[in-house]
């Protein structure tokens, strides 16, 4: 019919009108492979051949008959399963009693155009030759077909414009999610679950094995296209990334295949998901073998995971360990016997049976027939053995697609039965109608068969793993099942004993799950940094900045530690910050020892002076003031001790005040001494009675008042804003520096300034008095001591401001100790030297320089 239409359209107008006068006749015959008559006829379209030679589409002459190559015993088995089911139903008294089913089974040669011809031939009634007038359709009710989704789409589209609402298509192998579109394919049903479920399952599988870096290879057809789109959608937002997507071209060519193999080989993705079928996979895998491709973990789609073609042992290094979801298997009672019964004797004139014999045994049952492949096969002797690659034909222990075909026929029979036995107004459907054929539900061989609202079957898969068989061949092992959205899978109980994979050193099976990641995961302490322009799965691991941690593998970000915490060296945990202050550690101990030694030395000097208090050198130098100086120096040394240890509010307040007061006391005493020296020498000049004003009482008043000033400043400081302990977290992030804040900077610098002022005054006066006569003029030493004192404290200022943490305190203590030692040594060493070592010089005469 179509051919006529096409031909009409190709004619010029006058020729067209002429042609329309002609009767409608069939231009070509297309005979079914098997057929039987019945009240209702079911069409069957199967790819009984792998491929066909491209037809000549010149249209200027009548095309020759279709030439198909590569007989496929598997599809032949599907066809026989259909035949079996119809015969069973016809023999059944329960199903469709009083009616018979007929069938017409055509070969599509796995080619959409031929499939289309087959569809039209199916529609054309009993037999094209019998009804040359195209006068109407036969009692056709449904078509079982097609295998590939692309073919099914063509088939469905053909039926739509003809508006044959009764004829529905029930596919056994077309799983494309696109076929669930009820508007586009209103009469399409199937006994295979939609790929929407398969891609979900595959996505889960990838995630389960942590295969986050995978390649996808697909065929150039609707099935491959939609399965890939579905998988991408499922993987979107998960941790799995697609390393590459490659397409095996429709017209297979080795150059393109080599490019794809190169991509597979050079990518770090070891897991490859393949949405393709035997048709293009056979040459592709052959090329892979030639290129010695190994070490790939294949994830097979349902279209080839159960294909027996690849189970030969030679494929083992390439395909061993392959895993994928197969269509759920079912048992067809009596199929084995039925298949056994098919032989050339029973169907002497059926070319398909002849070809089956050729494929299975490599011989031709009748001398005249030649296989359609063109090569002449030897005549069968009866001694031939079954060809290995087709041994699966006879193995009916687990039928999957065959079972789908079988289910399909039963689905048709049951819906017909329902329609026939339904009384209008009494039907099982909405408003008690009888019309909804989609609501079919029945049980065969223990399985409840249902269809969903889209006419799809309820999803259910077997997890198939290609393991090493006893003969070195590949065995398809059922490793688990997946039903609906639930995964009752042996695999997912973490029991991998059912699975085996190819290990990385080729060709050994192992339980170890292969690894396919773009980047190794980041250990705790590191975070992922996505590489520019690369997918999310490819990242570098960068260590967390200090103060931040990550305690999980593959952290996206490092978390900042809470305030008083800091990261450990590895960056994996927050640990309390080290609280730092000058304590009794090495530095603290040394400083304590120095301070104590200083105090002791001062006290010894004190004792020496006390012991020798009546010797001239002590007396001449104002012994009372000397004792004061020694006393305050002892305090100076001791006040350094307050600076060591954990700062508390008390020690903070004490620190600077005691220090400043003792130092003021000390410098005041020295100032007093200087004044006395100055006064004593000026008093020798006649008419000068300064000495009168510098008697011991006055001296004490001077000392006391000088110290009092400092005391007042300190009192004001303590009242207004006293120093307090302070946790400095800013200076060093990893530590808390426990320190005394001075409270008021002004007060602090005032206190220091006042000491500085006293020292300067003292220095100036002593400097003036240094040249005064006498063998033991103390002014010289006072000048010197003040010089040292000022130098120490001037050096202190920059050191204090710039030293970090506990060193600030250490610097301060150091300044205290250094200046105290300076004073002690300059003022008292020379005297002690004379007292202890040169007692002969300790005479009045000598000291007066006489």
**687 C-beta neighbours (distance < 10 Å), count:** 5
> Which of 102, 215, 279, 598 touches ligand TRP by CB under 6 A?
279
Tell me how far, at minimum, the Cβ of 222 lies from ligand TRP, in Å.
Answer: 7
Q: How far is the CB of 116 from ligand TRP (least distance, A)?
A: 15
Residue 511: both structure tokens together: 């339980």
Alpha-carbon distance of 491 to 486, in angstroms, equals 13
Determine, following the binding rule CB under 6 A, whether residue 44 of this chain makes contact with ligand TRP: no
CA distances from 768 to 460, 666, 669 (A): 111, 20, 18
Q: Hey, what are 105's tokens?
A: 């089974």
Q: Which stretch binds ligand TRP (CB under 6 A): 21-29, 169-177, 566-574, 765-773?
A: 169-177
| Closer residue to ligand TRP in complex, CB, 168/632 | 168
- Output the smallest distance, CB 181 to ligand TRP, in A: 14
Q: Give the interface segment with ligand TRP, choosing from 171-179, 257-265, 432-440, 769-777 (CB under 6 A).
A: 171-179
Cβ proximity to ligand TRP: between 102 and 279 the closer is 279
> Is the separation of the CB atoms in 480 and 489 below 8 Å?
yes
Site residues (CB under 6 A) for ligand TRP, limited to 326-345? none
Minimum distance from residue 104 beta carbon to ligand TRP (Å): 21
- Element (H or E) spanning 671, and its range? helix 649-683
Q: Quote the strand ranges of 666-822, DSSP E.
A: 724-728, 735-741
Q: Choose the stretch contacting ligand TRP; rule: CB under 6 A; options: 144-152, 408-416, 641-649, 807-815.
A: 144-152
Cα atoms found within 13 Å of the Cα of residue 277, Cβ hemisphere only:
22
Residue 328 Cβ vs ligand TRP, minimum distance, rounded to whole Å: 14
Element (H, E) at 245: strand 241-248
Q: Which is nearer to ligand TRP, 198 or 371 (CB)?
A: 198
Cα dihedral 507, 513, 518, 523 in deg (nearest 10): -140
Q: Are 72 and 47 in contact (CB under 8 A)?
A: yes
Of 178, 248, 260, the closest CA to residue 220 belongs to: 248
Question: Could you tell me the smallest distance in angstroms from the CB atom of residue 149 to ligand TRP?
Answer: 4
149 binds ligand TRP (CB under 6 A): yes
Stretch that binds ligand TRP, among 142-150, 334-342, 483-491, 716-724 (CB under 6 A): 142-150
Q: How far is the CB of 174 from ligand TRP (least distance, A)?
A: 4
Q: How many CB atoms lie within 10 A of CB 691?
A: 13
Contact criterion met (CB below 8 Å) for 44 and 104? yes
Question: Which of 66, 176, 601, 736 contacts ligand TRP by CB under 6 A?
Answer: 176
Specify the stretch interacting with ligand TRP by CB under 6 A; choose among 168-176, 650-658, 733-741, 757-765: 168-176
Position 118 contacts ligand TRP (CB under 6 A): no
Per CB under 6 A, does 277 bind ligand TRP?
yes
Q: Which residue is it, tokens 């000022």? A: 790
Which residue from 52, 116, 124, 147 is in contact with ligand TRP, where contact means CB under 6 A?
A: 147
Q: Where are the alpha helices (DSSP H) in 569-648?
A: 586-611, 616-620, 623-642
DSSP structure string for 405-474 = HHHHHHHHHHHHHHHHHPPTTS-SSGGG-S--TT--EEEETTEEEEB-TTSPBPPEEEEEEEEE-TTSSE
DSSP 514: P
Distance between CA atoms of residues 645 and 585, nearest Å: 9
User: Which string of x and - marks every residue 630-649 that binds ligand TRP (by CB under 6 A)?
Assistant: --------------------
Identify which of residues 277 and 440 has a Cβ nearer to ligand TRP in the complex: 277
Task: List the interface residues with ligand TRP, window 301-320 (CB under 6 A).
Answer: 302-303
- With CB under 6 A as the contact rule, which of the stretches 167-175, 366-374, 621-629, 678-686 interacts with ligand TRP? 167-175
User: Of 174 and 180, which has the nearer Cβ to ligand TRP?
Assistant: 174
Judged by CB under 6 A, the residue of 34, 71, 106, 173 near ligand TRP is 173
What is the closest distance, in whole angstroms, from the C-beta atom of residue 303 to ligand TRP in the complex?
Answer: 4
Q: Which single residue is written with the structure tokens 């004993």?
A: 497
Counting residues that bind ligand TRP (by CB under 6 A) gives 14
Task: Indicate the Cα dihedral angle 708, 709, 714, 716, nearest 10°.
Answer: 110
Residue 108 as a binder of ligand TRP (CB under 6 A): the answer is no
DSSP β-bridge partners for residue 49: 71
Start-to-end CA distance of the chain, whole Å, equals 153
The stretch near ligand TRP (CB under 6 A) out of 84-92, 96-104, 219-227, 841-849 is 219-227
Closest residue (Cβ) to ligand TRP? 148
- Name, in order, each residue with C-beta under 8 angstroms of 781's C-beta and a sequence gap of 6 or more: 826, 827, 830
Question: Partners of 188 in the beta sheet?
Answer: 169
CB of 173 to ligand TRP, least distance (A): 5
Shortest separation between residue 550's beta carbon and ligand TRP, angstroms = 44
Cα–Cα distances (Å) from 228 to 79, 272, 536, 699, in that order, read 30, 12, 19, 104
Per CB under 6 A, does 418 bind ligand TRP? Answer: no
Q: Cα 844 vs. chain centroid, distance in angstroms?
A: 94
Does residue number 221 form part of the binding site for ligand TRP (CB under 6 A)?
Answer: yes
- Which position among 168, 174, 308, 842 is part of the footprint of ligand TRP (CB under 6 A)? 174
Binding site for ligand TRP (CB under 6 A): 147-149, 173-176, 219, 221, 223, 277, 279, 302-303
């Amino acid at each position: 019919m179509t051919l006529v239409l096409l031909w009409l359209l190709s004619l010029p107008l006058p020729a067209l009108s002429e042609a329309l006068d002609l009767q409608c006749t069939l231009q070509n015959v297309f005979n079914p492979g098997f057929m039987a008559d019945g009240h209702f006829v079911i069409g069957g379209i199967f790819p009984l051949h792998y491929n066909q030679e491209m037809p000549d589409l010149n249209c200027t002459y009548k095309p020759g008959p279709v030439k198909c190559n590569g007989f496929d015993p598997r599809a032949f088995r599907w066809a026989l399963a259909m035949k079996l089911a119809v015969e069973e139903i016809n023999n059944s008294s329960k199903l469709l009693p009083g009616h018979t089913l007929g069938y017409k089974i055509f070969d599509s040669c796995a080619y959409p155009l031929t499939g289309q011809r087959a569809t039209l031939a199916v529609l054309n009634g009993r037999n094209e030759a019998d009804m040359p007038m195209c006068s109407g359709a036969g009692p056709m009710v449904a078509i079982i077909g097609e295998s590939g989704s692309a073919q099914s789409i063509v088939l469905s589209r053909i039926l739509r414009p003809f508006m044959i609402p009764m004829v529905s298509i029930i596919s056994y192998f077309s799983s494309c999610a696109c076929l669930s579109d009820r508007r586009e394919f209103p009469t399409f049903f199937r006994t295979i679950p939609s790929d929407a479920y398969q891609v979900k399952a595959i996505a889960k599988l990838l995630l389960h094995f942590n295969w986050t870096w995978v390649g996808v290879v697909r065929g150039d057809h609707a099935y491959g296209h939609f399965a890939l789109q579905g998988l991408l959608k499922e993987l979107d937002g998960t941790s799995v990334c697609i390393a590459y997507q490659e397409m095996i071209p429709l017209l297979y060519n080795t150059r393109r295949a080599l490019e794809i193999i190169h991509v597979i080989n050079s990518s770090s993705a070891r897991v490859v998901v393949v949405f393709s079928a035997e048709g293009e996979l056979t040459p592709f895998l052959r090329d892979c073998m030639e290129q010695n491709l190994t070490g790939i973990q294949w994830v097979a789609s349902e279209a080839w995971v159960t294909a027996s073609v690849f189970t030969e042992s030679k494929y083992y290094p390439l395909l061993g360990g392959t895993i994928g979801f197969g269509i759920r298997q079912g048992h067809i009672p009596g199929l084995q016997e039925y298949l056994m019964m098919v032989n050339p004797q029973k169907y002497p004139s059926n070319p398909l049976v002849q070809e089956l014999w050729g494929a299975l045994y490599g011989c031709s049952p009748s001398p005249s027939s030649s296989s359609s492949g063109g090569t002449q096969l030897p005549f069968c002797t009866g001694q031939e053995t079954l060809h290995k690659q087709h041994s699966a034909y006879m193995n009916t222990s687990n039928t999957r697609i065959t079972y789908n075909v079988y289910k399909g026929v039963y689905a048709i029979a049951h819906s017909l039965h329902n329609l026939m036995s339904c009384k209008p107004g009494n039907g099982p459907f909405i408003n008690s109608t009888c019309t909804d054929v989609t609501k079919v539900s029945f049980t065969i061989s223990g399985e409840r068969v249902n269809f969903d609202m889209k006419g799809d079957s309820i999803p259910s898969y077997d997890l198939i793993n290609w393991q090493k068989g006893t003969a070195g061949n590949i065995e398809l092992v059922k490793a688990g099942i997946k039903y609906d959205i639930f995964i009752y899978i042996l695999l997912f109980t973490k029991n991998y004993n059912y699975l085996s994979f190819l290990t990385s050193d080729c060709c050994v099976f192992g339980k170890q799950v292969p690894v396919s990641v773009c980047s190794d995961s980041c250990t705790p302490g590191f975070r992922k940094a996505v590489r520019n322009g690369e997918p999310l799965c490819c990242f570098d691991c960068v260590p967390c900045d200090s103060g931040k941690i990550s305690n999980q593998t593959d952290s996206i970000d490092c978390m900042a530690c809470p305030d008083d915490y800091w990261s450990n060296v590895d960056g994996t945990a927050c640990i309390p910050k080290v609280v730092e202050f000058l304590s009794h550690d090495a530095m603290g101990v040394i400083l304590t020892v120095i301070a104590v030694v200083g105090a002791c030395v001062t006290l010894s000097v004190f004792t020496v002076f006390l012991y020798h208090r009546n010797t001239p050198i002590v007396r001449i130098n104002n012994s009372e003031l000397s004792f004061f100086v020694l006393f305050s120096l002892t305090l100076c040394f001791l006040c350094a001790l307050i600076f060591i240890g954990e700062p508390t509010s008390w020690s903070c307040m004490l620190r600077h005040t005691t220090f400043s007061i003792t130092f003021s006391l000390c410098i005041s005493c020295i100032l007093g001494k200087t004044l006395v020296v100055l006064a004593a020498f000026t008093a020798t000049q006649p008419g000068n009675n300064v000495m009168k004003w510098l008697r011991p009482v006055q001296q004490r008043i001077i000392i006391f008042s000088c110290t009092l000033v400092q005391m007042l400043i300190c009192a004001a400081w303590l009242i207004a804003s006293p120093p307090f302990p302070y946790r400095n977290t800013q200076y060093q992030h990893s530590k808390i520096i426990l320190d005394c804040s001075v409270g008021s900077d002004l007060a602090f610098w005032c206190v220091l300034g006042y000491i500085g002022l006293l020292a300067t005054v003292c220095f100036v006066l002593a400097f003036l008095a240094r040249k005064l006569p006498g063998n033991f003029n103390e002014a010289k030493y006072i000048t010197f001591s003040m010089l040292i004192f000022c130098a120490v404290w001037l050096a202190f200022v920059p050191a204090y401001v710039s030293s970090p943490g506990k060193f600030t305190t250490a610097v301060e203590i150091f300044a205290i100790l250094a200046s105290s030692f300076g004073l002690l040594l300059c003022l008292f060493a020379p005297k002690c030297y004379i007292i202890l070592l040169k007692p002969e010089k300790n005479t009045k005469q000598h000291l007066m320089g006489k």
